[in-house]
Chain A
Amino acid sequence: MKQQASVATGDEVAVRFNAVTKRFAKTVALHEVSLAVRRGEFMTLLGPSGCGKTTLLNLAAGFFSPDGGEILIDGERVNDVPTYRREIGMMFQNYALFPHMTVAANIAFGLKARHVTKHEIGRRVGEALALVKLTGMEGRKPRQLSGGQQQRVALARALVINPKVLLLDEPFSALDKNLRSAMQVELREIQRKLGVTTIFVTHDQSEALSLSDRLAVMSEGRIRQLGTPTEIYRRPCDRFVASFVGDANVLRGRLDRIDGAEVSVAIGAVRVSVPSGSLQGALASAPVDLYVRPEHLQLTTAGEPSARMGTIVGQVYQGGHVDLLVECVGPSPERLLVRSAGYQAMTRWPVGAKVGISISADEGVAFAIP
């Protein structure tokens, strides 16, 4: 496997979707989607099922062609290039390892299709196996491997041909939780080492946040927001993205003051400064919804100035943190999720305790009431 040493995330575009539209029968799966994936980048397509993310991936793979727009790989228009000439590596949800072939034959398949010499095939299969830490497993059949091992073989098979782009279709969904996080770390390590451009499809937002260089949040055949994990998590552009990526509390408040790029939102007795981008054209004192992450809410003893008052109705111990459910008395009854690091909150805020809730300064995003 050739190491593309100069890697890094350059500005060069490896895969480009230009206003791509795809229809299936009467339903429109993709509405003029445009997206540029940079060379060496790990791009995630995130969204609920039916949002079009897999369709976009399959279009890159060439399993079918778009009804409108164009797809470019390395600057070359590939709309009419069949899958087998696209130089892609694809990993399927069920791995799709050929059950009648050994591990070595599975990995060698793409090289044989390219008429690589026998000697060279042996060398590269060996390298690929070493890369995924499966040396010595050459002679096994896929059904003799564990789920994690099967996944490594699938990865090795996709990478051994030095693809222009690596396409991953929910590859971790079949693994249990521990193995999944281990495989995620390993995949990312390998991807960085080889610098291979990667498009990764998932519906798991935590997976998307932890792995991606950038992610595109999709819904109903459109990209709702494109950005780095921190941008998406901290500054979601709309209600859908705010509630799909990460947990979010919705607090009804009032627009207090607009001050250039910042607006001040009044929630109960506190004021929170948030970016004004999502509130274009809103009037002062208009009602707004503030979306706040559970870790940006703090509990205070009743009496201190707070955004809301409420009662603890539930505790969920999560090991590293505690999730507390608070039922609020307010303009409208709300249930808020407060995340508290450590375990102390378990005893400090027992169920039934009266609490106030305050908001970390400047965290959150506000949206106008539709």
Chain B
Amino acid sequence: MPRSAYQRLLGLGGKLAVLLILGFLVLPAAVVTIAAFNDKAILSFPPQVWSLRWFARAIAYPDFRDGFHNGLIVTLWSSTIALVVGATFAFVLDRYSLRFKTALEGVLLSPLVIPHFTVGLGFLILAAQIGWTRGYPVVIVCHVVLVVPFVLRSVYVSLRNLDQSYELAAASLGAQPLRVLLTITLPLLLPGLISGWMFAAILSFNEFTASLFVTAQRTQTLPVAMYNYVREFADPSMAALSVMYIAGTAGLIVFANAFLGLGKVLNIEQNR
């Protein structure tokens, strides 16, 4: 069928629009990446002389090292706790008809509505009351609250997509509820659980606003350390750090894709 000039123009326009959108999406990352290899001590663009020295400085800078270490501790704890809490609630919401189901759903998803700084401030005030301001627990609990909705959603969607006949079949074959849970439900939910955990981990590791309130010098996470750094310096080591951030996250996703299939982890494809 011959295509009219109008249709061709429309097709071309569509492609251009897609390209522009993709361009805008990667533009900040691209600019920062290029700036990271600048030899000059100021964040300028485009660089004249190339160098890796800001990567070396970023890795060597003690505050960043501590921040990375703290962030890792906070992330591992908070995303794991959030996984348990979120998955349990997703289960309850999916399987039981509760009287206050909608209200419960609302409360659990409320961190999406309440700004991070409000959560951070709230925890700061509470922590000050009981004298917890110095340690990890307040940071971890704060992060759990912030990321639980994401885990909940991810697991809830997986549960919804799980065909109940698998569990009924297992029961008909003589498996008691615990056995059904361990051998059928959890293995089939694994992609959803992993994706929930991964989302939680990435969000927690990148979280800044609430962390600014609840961390102390001893517990500050990497984003907070970076913020404190830019208040004093403006050199490309920030950009270098950003590049490492992007590479690390991408690496995690590639890893998940290689071992589990990205489609499954991101809940795009059904596990049938």
Contact = CB atoms under 8 A, between A and B. Distances in A.
A60 to B, nearest CB: 10
A167 B169 CA distance: 11
A96 B175 contact: no
Nearest to B184: A98
A221 to B, nearest CB: 22
A152 to B, nearest CB: 15
Contacts of A99: 188, 271-272
A357 interface: no
A84 B171 contact: yes
B174 interface: yes
B173 interface: yes
A90 B188 contact: no
A89 interface: yes
Contacts of B179: 113
A110 B180 CA distance: 11
Interface stretch (B48-56, B63-71, B160-168): B160-168
B102 interface: no
Interface in B116-135: none
B7 interface: no
A56 to B, nearest CB: 16
Q: How large is the interface on A (under 10, 10 to 19, 20 to 34, 35 or more residues)?
A: 20 to 34
Given A98-B184, A99-B271, A113-B179, A92 B169 contact: yes
A143 B271 CA distance: 10
Interface in B168-205: 168-177, 179, 183-184, 187-188
The listed residue with most B CB atoms (<10 A of its CB), out of A82, A83, A88, A93, is A83
B176 A96 contact: no
A109 interface: yes
Nearest to A90: B172
A205 to B, nearest CB: 25
Contacts of B173: 84, 89, 109-110, 113, 157-158, 161
Interface string B29-55: 000000000000000000000000000
Contacts of A82: 171
B168 A96 contact: yes
Given A99-B271, A143-B272, A113 B169 contact: no
B174 A110 contact: yes
A161 B173 CA distance: 8
A104 interface: no
B163 A89 contact: no
Interface in A43-101: 61, 63, 82-90, 92-94, 96, 98-100
Contacts of B174: 84-85, 87, 110, 113-114, 161
B188 to A, nearest CB: 6
Interface string B75-104: 000000000000000000000000000000
A304 B259 CA distance: 80
Q: How large is the interface on B (under 10, 10 to 19, 20 to 34, 35 or more residues)?
A: 20 to 34
A86 B168 CA distance: 13
Contacts of A88: 172
A167 B172 CA distance: 10
A84 B170 CA distance: 8
A113 B176 contact: yes
Contacts of B176: 84, 113
A158 B171 CA distance: 11
A61 B174 CA distance: 11
B168 A109 contact: no
Nearest to A97: B169
Contacts of B171: 63, 82-84
Contacts of B169: 90, 92, 96, 98, 157
Contacts of A86: 172
A96 B272 contact: no
Contact of A83 (B168, B184, B271, B272): B168
B75 to A, nearest CB: 29
A94 B165 contact: yes
A291 B169 CA distance: 42
A114 B179 CA distance: 11
Contacts of A98: 166, 169-170, 184, 188
A61 B271 contact: no
B89 to A, nearest CB: 24
Contacts of A143: 272
B184 A89 contact: no
Given A96-B165, A99-B188, A99-B271, A109 B175 contact: yes
25 contacts: A61-B172, A83-B171, A84-B173, A84-B177, A86-B172, A87-B174, A89-B172, A90-B169, A90-B172, A93-B165, A94-B165, A96-B163, A96-B166, A96-B168, A98-B184, A99-B271, A109-B170, A109-B173, A109-B175, A110-B173, A113-B174, A113-B176, A143-B272, A157-B169, A161-B173
In the complex, the 6 A-B pairs of residues with the closest C-beta atoms, listed nearest first? A110-B173, A96-B165, A90-B172, A96-B169, A113-B174, A83-B171
Given A89-B172, A100-B188, 18 more contacts: A61-B168, A83-B172, A84-B175, A85-B174, A87-B174, A88-B172, A89-B173, A92-B165, A94-B165, A96-B168, A96-B169, A99-B272, A113-B175, A114-B174, A157-B173, A158-B172, A158-B173, A167-B172
